[in-house]
Structure 1
């Protein structure tokens, strides 16, 4: 009887395990299916040509897949390589923290302790205190993006592009600080490019070699590499996706912009490799049996400094989603857009790699995709709707058509204008002529205006890449406006001033 009872108990236990496994598999299949449907819909709505997703939970991969639309030459897979842009900063932070744990770097030591050649246009900000000057830049300042440097004081896009990490550090001798170190947050790519050089000098290894040996290989990121320039990235990658721009809501393939990347934006990776990276981040610095960093170091990277009102940690931004904390970072290059997000309470990780960059997608598409995936992971339903990128394209096309038609109408109206101004006060005539030059003036100062508003400098090349439709509209209106204004000035000069009303 006891033997029969034990057999029944074993049978019931096995049956329960099988049922739970079936239910778990069904739930996983259901989650995969819902993610597939959601991503496919979002790509179609926002005309995203290629996207690779990795989602992890604890030390498991929940979902990993590449998605393509019909206009992609090659299908995107989990093994397709993308430039991950500013997500690279968190890798640089890991390298620094590994050397901190090894006792080779002190976070509060001056940068010049490791790089004596590091100088700025105002050298007192970089040098050791002399004559009571307390201002100094430390390793921690660089990691937290509070060095006092910014695009306003040094636009990396306006200087000749460096080809090595040491050249990048040397080029900063023209950088003018905009604040005292530690006083305010300024997102500045060269902060992390200087850190890459620190890693090189301290470890006595090239930065790319250090990342490969101490991060990529232990995390089994076999298709991940670091490139010094964008040209190096495409040369070193064996399965790089084609990047895209967007005009009037329609994507089109275009080469990536050339430039220096290492330390801030130079890593090439895949969804498959990024899944391992997410597991490392959500498991306190451990991947499988390998411990790359201590739990306290990972927590420090995820934590903004308390001394100022900044949400930036060390290669990570502390945010929230529906009241829940999210540790995240986005990245953009001229033809790539990326995102990583960690849900620390549930230990979920999300990585999104896209082969397109367009300004309208930043507020319209990517936040919606991120929020939708988080809602799916929490058994919710992603919000429907949202402003379609197609409507955006139509709106910009209509604006351009109206603007051009009005400008042409104004040119055709010149004979009538010449007669009308005879009865118009001269100050109003000059005011009207001045208004015709406004689009041209706005176009001329646009990069500096954006720098004042966002503390980031975007040159004309990058502006035309990020929003070619808007820049084309503005350029056409500016040219027609200048032609109109010059024509009116000529007509005014040829006329007798005494004929005009005052």
Structure 2
């Protein structure tokens, strides 16, 4: 597999990067006992450093699977109970609406069913007490989008609270715990949790496309604040490290060198559906993993955005395959989708049926028009020419959070209006895309609306995140 796979990966990577101004990309595949990593291009256009097989990068939200692994380790040791309220262990945990935090269980934190409305809450660094400061800040102005367990919404806040919970019950800081109980046992020798450590190795930075020159420029912010560590703000590592972690989950919690990292039962629990929104754009959620059906094959995946970069980790248990990749512009997500689809179809022979086969005519659009909000995010939805037009605006709570968000997003606080065409009641696709574009990972670009009451939808779901009608 090795030589042929590397040549195929490099060919697709080079073609895409050169056509789409992606400076650098690295991808790896493990299958049937063989592993290959292919790297192309530049890790940092400011220095000209090459992207290498062992170049480090920010994991972004792939970290959430690592955080979940840490939580379940403590469950196995009898330190945590998934069905206990978080306040049992973290009594200072509170939200702006009295009585809501007390209903959130430990399992809700790692299954994205907690409802905490803090997805864009970016408090400052906080130093060693960063996670303690984050939890304290939740009580000052953050409520819930829904009652715990009632819905699912991709939750940075839940993972960060889980990270603080781990610190309290173990007495060890989250970065130290991650290094001790995941990086070390899983064989992730190139992983760290700070820029100071990462700079000692070859490390890539993210880039954004300059709208005037159409050239890639390096991000002005390498990591997010330490307050975002457990959700993906600071952990850094390599594609071989992610493959080692993926192989650990592929092999029932045993790392490539034979070290037991997690029990087979906990590994299986992470891959078990915890909540299903029953909408094509929102794959079922496990604990840590997002569970993508590709026909009869299941891909357990997590992708991660960082300032100007995107990562992905996928485990395909039925075929014994692990795929990991990083690209240093946001558009590299399309290449990750392309490579994953190619691996499934061409390498594994998986049949991927169309996700969307029919488009309904005469869908009533009135229930979906309105204003939807979540923490510091406003989405205006209007009906125009038989389509929905959405305008997404970031509304920063203060100057500090605006600085962090705009650096993370490449400088913008609002996106241009986007038109959506109806597929069926409650489900919409961005205009101009062929339906087969959504068969793979890009199904996340679809938008759905949920819980229609009295002719009005209560929730909008985009990218797995809920906003609530205001």
Q: TM-score, normalised by structure 2?
A: 0.70
Aligned equivalent of 2:131: 165
Shift of 1:233: 2.8
Secondary structure of the equivalent of 2:231? coil
Aligned equivalent of 1:53: 27
1:288-437 aligned within 5 A? 288-306=257-275, 309=278, 311-358=284-331, 361-362=332-333, 364-378=334-348
Check whether the contact 2:219–2:410 (CA below 8 A) recurs between aligned residues: no
* CA RMSD after TM alignment: 3.2
Aligned equivalent of 1:182: 149
1:20-169 aligned within 5 A? 27-58=1-32, 60-69=33-42, 72=45, 73-127=48-102, 136-151=103-118, 155-157=120-122, 159-160=123-124, 162-163=126-127, 164-169=130-135
Deviations 1:343-385 (A, max 9, x none): 1200100001122225xx54x4432232223334226999xxx
Check whether the contact 1:463–1:471 (CA below 8 A) recurs between aligned residues: no
Deviations 1:100-127 (A, max 9, x none): 1111110010101110110110130123
CA shift in 2, pair 1:86/1:268, >3 Å: same
Shift of 1:187: 1.4
Partner Cα distance (1:270, 1:451) in 2: 40
Larger radius of gyration: 1
Q: 1:238 aligns with which of 185, 200, 205?
A: 200
CA shift in 2, pair 1:71/1:189, >3 Å: closer
Q: Which runs of 5+ in 2 are unaligned?
A: 353-375, 383-389, 397-401, 418-470
Residue 254 of structure 2 corresponds to residue 286 of structure 1: yes
Secondary structure of the equivalent of 1:191? helix
Aligned equivalent of 1:221: 188
Deviations 1:215-259 (A, max 9, x none): 111122111012xxxxx4356542221221113453222222643
Shift of 1:95: 0.4
Shift of 1:37: 1.4
Partner Cα distance (1:29, 1:78) in 2: 15
Check whether the contact 1:61–1:275 (CA below 8 A) recurs between aligned residues: no
**Aligned residue pairs, count:** 365
Q: TM-score, normalised by structure 1?
A: 0.66
Residue 178 of structure 2 corresponds to residue 211 of structure 1: yes
Q: 1:271 aligns with which of 235, 239, 253?
A: 239
More strand by share: 2
Check whether the contact 1:302–1:327 (CA below 8 A) recurs between aligned residues: yes
Secondary structure of the equivalent of 1:262? helix
Aligned equivalent of 2:357: none
Partner Cα distance (2:17, 2:162) in 1: 36
Deviations 1:127-181 (A, max 9, x none): 3xxxxxxxx0010011111112134xx6404x55544111111111021112111
Check whether the contact 1:85–1:338 (CA below 8 A) recurs between aligned residues: yes
Partner Cα distance (2:14, 2:146) in 1: 45
More helix by share: 1
Q: Which runs of 5+ in 1 are unaligned?
A: 1-26, 128-135, 227-231, 383-445, 475-502
Partner Cα distance (1:36, 1:245) in 2: 23
